[in-house]
Amino acid sequence: MNHVKISIIIPFTRPHSATKTINSVLTQTREGDYEIIVVGMEASRLREFFHQREIILVDTKEKTNPSEARNIGAIKSRGKLLLFIDDDCEAGPAWLEGYKRHIYNPEIGIITGMVKGRSKRFFARCFDLNFYLQKGRKERELKRFSSITFGMRREVFDKLCGFDNKIIVREDIDLARRATSIGYRILYTPEILVIHDHNRDTLNKYLFYSYSSGLLCGLSVSFKHKKGWKDLIKIIFKRFYILLILPAAIWSTCVQTAGILKVRKNVIPFLPFMFLANLFYQIGVFKWTIASKA
């Protein structure tokens, strides 16, 4: 433990699934140069399942959002490599090796991998299409990524000052924009695989998640960066955002569809529900604009 090279950080909110996450990582960490840091309210409850000294359980006094938990984990960590995975995911067999293979490239700031949903129910598959950027068998560069799983060198994380604790949803988009703005690349590689057990397998759950995400995130990322025409339009029309709900939902659905068609052919059955989810997201954003003082 005196020569920790890799710190694996897990935001904790789900005791049952978190044990699966930890076990999926433990099967790959055999070199003794790692630590697993689990951060969240009552994270110490997991001690009855795990007695390894490499597993560090960090209790927080209150419930933390993912940004806060990841930042706390990074502060507590000692590794030169920081790998993050959410506690509703299980790491694929080459998850750790995939990161180690690419993470030392100085041009690459963030590495992420393939996200596959566990459930095969129709609406769960609709939700999985949100991660269309992280599908396919070809390694490629991205402009944004999902924080479900990603890795970066400590020097990069520190240079970016970690996550913005004030951004609860789409915190990964904010981090990606900050990383690419100073010249770092974001790499997608399919050998890094996680199975995502998100439990959003009904229409109600799917739409509620979309609405809640819009309500929690709103236009906070656009107001923070204020770069590009999309940010400008959102900021100008904040007071009249109701006029943007439908156009924004249509635009998002078109962008998603174009991206999805690059990795799968049959998207038509999902389109109406993708649009509906985007519409609910924009309604959530509209509610945010009413309550926000930004």
Say if residue 42 is in the same domain as residue 95: yes
Nearest CA to 49 among 36, 61, 31? Answer: 36
Band of the pLDDT at 294, cuts 50, 70, 90?
A: low
Domain contains 1:
no
User: What is the domain-level CATH number for residue 164?
Assistant: 3.90.550.10
Q: How many structural domains are present in the chain? A: 2
What is the rounded CA–CA span in Å between residue 239 and residue 48? 51
Instruction: Assess contact for 102 and 108: CB atoms under 8 A.
Output: yes
Q: How far is Cα of residue 77 from the mean position of the Cα atoms in its chain?
A: 20
Residue at a domain's end among 173, 196, 219: 196
**E strand segments, the chain:** 6-11, 34-40, 55-59, 81-85, 89-91, 108-117, 140-142, 149-153, 185-196
The count of other CB atoms within 10 Å of the CB of residue 1 is 11
Q: Which two tokens stand for residue 285?
A: 């954003």
Please report which confidence band the pLDDT of residue 1 belongs to, taking 50, 70 and 90 as the band edges. very low
> Domain range holding 280?
203-291
Do 210 and 280 form a contact (C-beta atoms < 8 A)?
Answer: yes
DSSP per residue over 120-174, as a string? -SHHHHHHHGGGGGG-SSS-EEES---TTEEEEEHHHHHHTTS--TT--SSHHHH
Q: Provide the terminal-to-terminal Cα distance of the chain, rounded to the nearest Å.
A: 45
**Among 148, 177, 196, which residue terminates a domain?**
196
pLDDT in tens, 24-71: 999 987 666 899 999 999 999 998 888 877 899 999 999 999 999 999
- DSSP per residue over 256-274, as a string? HHHHHTTT-S--GGGHHHH
Residue 174, token pair as written in the block = 């904010």
Alpha-carbon gap, residue 189 to 95, rounded angstroms: 10
Specify whether 60 is located in the same domain as 118.
Answer: yes
Q: 247 falls in which pLDDT band (50, 70, 90)?
A: very high
CA distance 200 to 207: 9
User: Which of the listed residues 196, 225, 253 is the one where a domain comes to its end?
Assistant: 196
Handedness of CA 265, 270, 275, 277 (dihedral sign): negative
189: in domain? yes
Whether 207 and 121 map to the same domain: the answer is no
- In sequence order, what are the beta bridge partners of 188? 112, 140
pLDDT in tens, 150-205: 999 999 999 999 999 999 999 999 999 999 999 999 999 999 999 999 999 999 99
Helix axes 95-102, 15-26, angle to 10 degrees: 60
Same-domain check for residues 47 and 187: yes
